[in-house]
Structure 1
Amino acid sequence: MTMIKWFLLAALASAMAVPFTRPVIAGEFVDVLDSPALPSALAAQSTLTGLTRAGERLVAVGQGGHILYSDDAGQHWQQASVPVSSDLVAVHFPTPRQGWAVGHDGVVLHSNDAGQTWTRQLDGRQVGPIMLDYYQQQLASQPADEALQARVSEAQRMVEEGADKPFLDVWFESDQVGYIVGAFNLIFRTDDGGRHWTPLLDRTDNPSALNLYALRPVGDDVFIVGEQGLVLKLDRASGRFNATPTPYNGSFFGITGKPGATLVFGLRGNVFRSTDSGVNWSKVELGLPLSITASSVTADGRIVLVSQAGHVLVSSDDGASFRMQPNTALAPVAAAQVATAGSLVLAGTRGLRQLPLE
């Protein structure tokens, strides 16, 4: 079986085993898309897989639709009001108040108050029909196009399958223009703040429909990474995501860096660095055979990588080399965010915790 992002495997298996529902009363089930996230005093200790900044605020997302926010660099957390209880995977705020979160069941949520309350903009019940309508319109003007015929068939299958369409990352370049990516080459773009979404499955160099795990900018470039060494770079002129070959054919889970230095990271400690906008890549030796699952960049330009077990590695030379930071309290990590000049907040299967950053 193709390896996928370690911290998503259990959640994906759970979602497939009991699709879209959760027990409420014995004998009754309610669709998680119609069931708000439950308030919990232990939400900050539950599994959390996405973490970002909304201005000075930190926002985390995770299992059961839990979204939490902190205004004191992660020392204390409050739970947000969320209209779904689907597992959430990623979150991004292009401005201090406007933010988006995505996850299982094709969920896309929006907040306009810095993460305190959320509304649903999209879910998996709409994804298939949106794709089908879009590609049927394209096919009507080009009826002999075999690629479009295949897209229509694929969209029809997704309509029949229902809502189980996980989105795995989200990134907005402004409060209007953004992208969401997910399993099996799912990718959509909005130009109006999420009110409407356009499928871009025909605009990726991903003929095998590999999972798309992460989408992030580095400098003026925008990259997507996924399974089997997949790295895509946005060509803004054409609107296409073109393949950028790397020397590695295992899964990449994330992208980080700064202008002039792009890093992609993934399975078994594999990290590759490019200083020419993704044209050429060289391996960064970490000396750590564990998957890298999270990253962040400090205000002074240090690049931080975190392993699946919680090892923290810091680079002061634009990602050319890394030094492991002492950390005896190891725990599984899915996301990381620099909170202050001297602290790092980590999210994972044991919730949220702070670490000093040397």
Structure 2
Amino acid sequence: MRVTLGIAVSLIVAAAGMFAFSHRDTPSLGSRQIPVDNMNLTSITQTDAGLVTAGELGHILVSSDEGNSWTQAALSDQRHALITRLHFKDSLNGLAIGHEGWILKTRDGGRTWQEVAFNPGSEPLLGIHLLPSGDWVAFGAFGQSRISRDDGISWSELPSPEGTDWHLNNIIASEDRRTWLIVGESGTLFRSTDGGTNWESIPEFYNGSLYGGLSLGDDTWVVYGMRGNIFRSDDNGLSWTSVGGELPVSIFTHQSLDNGDLLLAGQGGALLLSHDQGRSFRFLHKSGRMTVTDITLLESGNLLMSSDSGLLPPLSLAQLKQPSGA
């Protein structure tokens, strides 16, 4: 049976759908009223403006002091739809995507946003990236595909890879930006070796959803998804070997550390660490029911994580060396 939309949506747990479809008019929040420790936040990144995070009810928040205080970004239109992902091409220019085909563009690091697309009733957009051609592409539920050829200002429909109607959860680039992967529902994986111009499906090696991944260079990739499943490829995505799956929770995000280690995170606050380029992972931590949705590395060297229950306290690299906890 097809995985339902609420479950398959990348980086979104069941509560997210409740927030996304509850169109409430909420008053503007002052910097001291923003409940960043009790919000569904799906994405966090660093820009010229500082830290930028987004998620519940279309909120985009900015911090210039490493997360100690937050202000709301200025949006041209507030749709109160869940924002699923932020992606910046540099420290000033980026896009936000979300439910109902919502796309917003910023030119100042996330301080202000201009709506460039909104399609009421449209399926959620889940992954976005800038191709080497200069075109932006966005993918989402039921194979939804969009393209912009004018730096994100206008958008049109794009045929889904091989006509798929599976949920497409994320798009990933190799270090040289020539090879690209799209990961999705029911083990869906498409590969492009020409900068995202053409796509081919990779034979199924896993029947559960894949939510993300990364290139480690030298034709090496890691992808991850449901039920703690992690796969590694050493031949530029043609074949895959399982290097995880013992943890009964989904994995949604990752962060490469300065020392070359790889940190994965997901449901239940689960953290997994690899010291060997993704050949094996050590379980670090699991706490409660909240889900880690994204990770960014602060200038201090600490890690700041967003979750469906708000921003988590900064985590030091020294804490990653502590024994596993329940």
Q: What is the TM-score with the length of structure 1 in the denominator?
A: 0.77
User: Hey, what does 2:250 align to over in structure 1?
Assistant: 291
* Deviation for aligned residue 1:165: 2.4
Determine which of 138, 147, 150 is the counterpart of 1:192: 150
Identity %: 29
1:331 and 2:294 matched: no
1:42 and 2:34 matched: yes
1:352 alignment partner, SS class? coil
User: Hey, what does 1:156 align to over in structure 2?
Assistant: none
Alpha-carbon distance between aligned partners in 2 of 1:206 and 1:57, rounded to the nearest angstrom: 39
The higher radius of gyration belongs to 1
Alpha-carbon distance between aligned partners in 2 of 1:177 and 1:57, rounded to the nearest angstrom: 26
User: Hey, what does 1:355 align to over in structure 2?
Assistant: 315
User: Hey, what does 1:149 align to over in structure 2?
Assistant: none
Which letter does structure 1 place at the counterpart of 2:174? Answer: V
User: Hey, what does 1:11 align to over in structure 2?
Assistant: 16
User: Hey, what does 2:266 align to over in structure 1?
Assistant: 307
* Deviation for aligned residue 1:314: 1.6
Which letter does structure 2 place at the counterpart of 1:240? Answer: N
Alpha-carbon distance between aligned partners in 1 of 2:132 and 2:57, rounded to the nearest angstrom: 28
1:235-273 CA-partner distances (Å, limit 9, x unpaired)? 427822221224201101112232132111110001111
Question: Larger helix proportion, structure 1 or 2?
Answer: 1
1:200-242 CA-partner distances (Å, limit 9, x unpaired)? 225x0243x0011111213232211110100111242782222
Alignment length (residue pairs): 304
Distance 1:173 1:69, change over 3 A: farther
Alpha-carbon distance between aligned partners in 1 of 2:292 and 2:252, rounded to the nearest angstrom: 7
Q: How does 1:139-150 map to 2 (within 5 A)?
A: none
* Deviation for aligned residue 1:341: 6.7
* Deviation for aligned residue 1:68: 1.4
Distance 1:259 1:326, change over 3 A: same
Whether contact under 8 Å (1:180, 1:189) holds in the other structure is yes
Whether contact under 8 Å (1:226, 1:251) holds in the other structure is yes
2:142 alignment partner, SS class? helix
User: Hey, what does 1:97 align to over in structure 2?
Assistant: 92
User: Hey, what does 2:67 align to over in structure 1?
Assistant: 74
Q: How does 1:211-222 map to 2 (within 5 A)?
A: 211-219=167-175, 220=177, 221-222=179-180
User: Hey, what does 1:22 align to over in structure 2?
Assistant: 24
Alpha-carbon distance between aligned partners in 1 of 2:42 and 2:133, rounded to the nearest angstrom: 23
* Deviation for aligned residue 1:313: 1.4
Q: What is the TM-score with the length of structure 2 in the denominator?
A: 0.84
1:258-302 CA-partner distances (Å, limit 9, x unpaired)? 213211111000111112110110001263221111111123332
1:184 alignment partner, SS class? helix
Which letter does structure 2 place at the counterpart of 1:205? Answer: E
User: Hey, what does 1:165 align to over in structure 2?
Assistant: 123
Whether contact under 8 Å (1:295, 1:337) holds in the other structure is no
Alpha-carbon distance between aligned partners in 2 of 1:51 and 1:87, rounded to the nearest angstrom: 14
Alpha-carbon distance between aligned partners in 2 of 1:111 and 1:197, rounded to the nearest angstrom: 15
Tell me the C-alpha RMSD between the 2 structures.
2.6
Which letter does structure 1 place at the counterpart of 2:17? Answer: L
User: Hey, what does 2:324 align to over in structure 1?
Assistant: none
Distance 1:14 1:307, change over 3 A: closer
Distance 1:241 1:8, change over 3 A: farther
Which letter does structure 2 place at the counterpart of 1:232? Answer: F
Structure 1 stretches lacking a partner, 5+ long: 25-36, 125-161
Whether contact under 8 Å (2:106, 2:113) holds in the other structure is yes
Which letter does structure 1 place at the counterpart of 2:129? Answer: W
Alpha-carbon distance between aligned partners in 2 of 1:174 and 1:98, rounded to the nearest angstrom: 16
User: Hey, what does 2:323 align to over in structure 1?
Assistant: none
1:42-91 CA-partner distances (Å, limit 9, x unpaired)? 24221101122325832211011111123343343332112222211100
User: Hey, what does 1:28 align to over in structure 2?
Assistant: none
Which letter does structure 2 place at the counterpart of 1:184? Answer: F
Which letter does structure 2 place at the counterpart of 1:120? Answer: E
2:84 alignment partner, SS class? strand
Structure 2 stretches lacking a partner, 5+ long: 321-326
* Deviation for aligned residue 1:308: 1.1
Which letter does structure 1 place at the counterpart of 2:126? Answer: L
Distance 1:96 1:175, change over 3 A: farther
Determine which of 196, 200, 205 is the counterpart of 2:162: 205
Distance 1:345 1:246, change over 3 A: farther
1:264 and 2:223 matched: yes
Q: Which moved more, 1:256-265 or 1:94-103?
A: 256-265
Determine which of 109, 113, 132 is the counterpart of 2:108: 113
Alpha-carbon distance between aligned partners in 2 of 1:122 and 1:289, rounded to the nearest angstrom: 37
Alpha-carbon distance between aligned partners in 2 of 1:306 and 1:118, rounded to the nearest angstrom: 29
User: Hey, what does 2:275 align to over in structure 1?
Assistant: 316
Distance 1:255 1:106, change over 3 A: same
